[in-house]
């Protein structure tokens, strides 16, 4: 069993239209070591498209369409939303994840918005669409920078920030902000140290958590 799905009807919270979407009902757990940005290894990489559904009528994208959208619904007709904030890709799953990130930002769900930008970046990584993947990561960085109160004290996002910056080529900022930084978690300190080393070498590639010196993740 790799995974199983089911088709389910949802009513769009924005326009009231009914539509049928495939949902994941059972999933195989990750196998192997995650990347530094916690991208899971193994089977979950195939499930990304089930993280988002799109209303065929109004274009609303979210994890499920019954989740309310709080801003004016006209936003879903805006150029920013329809153009995926200017990120053009033939990958419809990535486009939907970008729209979900924009909708979540509108809902002030900033942490989930960052995760959706990151998921879109992962799909674009798989397409070898380096520029758009970097642009998604820059958008995630902008959310974290723009809403410090939402991320205050959350070291998971602090460490993720190092990877988002490095993978989008902002090496100077990684070194500036993370050199010598110690976290309460030794693992996080080791990851930050490794991110600084990679950034200093101008390395913007994906790396696995077990590459961190002193870490043998399983």
- Contact residues for Zn ion (CB under 5 A)? 12, 14-15, 17, 55, 57-58, 60
Per DSSP, the residues of 15-62 read T--EEEEEEEEEEPPP-SPPBTT-PPPSGGGG-GGGG-EE-TTT--EE
Closest CA to 184 of 161, 211, 212, 154: 154
How far apart (Å, rounded) are the C-alpha atoms in residues 62 and 54?
7
Distance between start and end Cα atoms, the chain:
22
Q: Toward Zn ion, which CB reaches closer, 104 or 141?
A: 104
To the nearest whole angstrom, how small is the minimum distance from the Cβ of residue 12 to Zn ion?
A: 3
Q: Toward Zn ion, which CB reaches closer, 17 or 112?
A: 17
To the nearest whole angstrom, how small is the minimum distance from the Cβ of residue 93 to Zn ion?
A: 19
Q: Toward Zn ion, which CB reaches closer, 58 or 101?
A: 58
Closest CA to 120 of 132, 104, 103, 105: 132
Q: Toward Zn ion, which CB reaches closer, 12 or 84?
A: 12
To the nearest whole angstrom, how small is the minimum distance from the Cβ of residue 61 to Zn ion?
A: 10
To the nearest whole angstrom, how small is the minimum distance from the Cβ of residue 96 to Zn ion?
A: 13
Q: Toward Zn ion, which CB reaches closer, 69 or 122?
A: 69
Tokens representing 205 are: 């590639």
* Beta strand residue intervals within the chain, DSSP E: 3-11, 18-27, 53-54, 61-62
To the nearest whole angstrom, how small is the minimum distance from the Cβ of residue 55 to Zn ion?
A: 3
3-state secondary structure of 162: helix
3-state secondary structure of 13: coil
Q: Toward Zn ion, which CB reaches closer, 104 or 118?
A: 104
To the nearest whole angstrom, how small is the minimum distance from the Cβ of residue 13 to Zn ion?
A: 8
């Amino acid at each position: 069993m790799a995974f199983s799905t089911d088709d389910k009807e949802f009513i769009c919270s924005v326009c009231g239209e009914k539509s049928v979407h495939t949902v994941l009902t059972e999933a195989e757990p990750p196998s192997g070591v995650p990347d530094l940005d916690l991208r899971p290894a193994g089977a979950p990489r195939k499930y990304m498209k089930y993280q988002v559904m799109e209303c065929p009528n109004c274009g609303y994208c979210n994890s499920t369409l019954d989740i309310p959208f709080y801003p004016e619904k006209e936003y879903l007709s805006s150029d920013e939303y329809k153009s995926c904030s200017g990120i053009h890709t033939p990958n419809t799953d990535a486009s939907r994840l970008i729209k979900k990130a924009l909708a979540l930002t509108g809902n002030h769900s900033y942490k989930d918005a960052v995760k959706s930008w990151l998921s879109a970046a992962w799909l674009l990584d798989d397409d070898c669409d380096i520029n758009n993947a970097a642009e998604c990561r820059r958008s995630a960085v902008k959310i974290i920078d723009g809403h410090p109160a939402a991320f205050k004290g959350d070291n998971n996002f602090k460490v993720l920030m190092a990877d988002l910056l490095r993978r989008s080529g902002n090496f100077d900022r990684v070194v500036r902000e993370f050199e010598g930084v110690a976290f309460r978690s030794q693992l996080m300190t080791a990851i930050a140290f490794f991110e600084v080393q990679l950034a200093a070498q101008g390395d913007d590639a994906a790396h696995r958590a077990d590459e961190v010196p002193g870490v043998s993740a399983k």
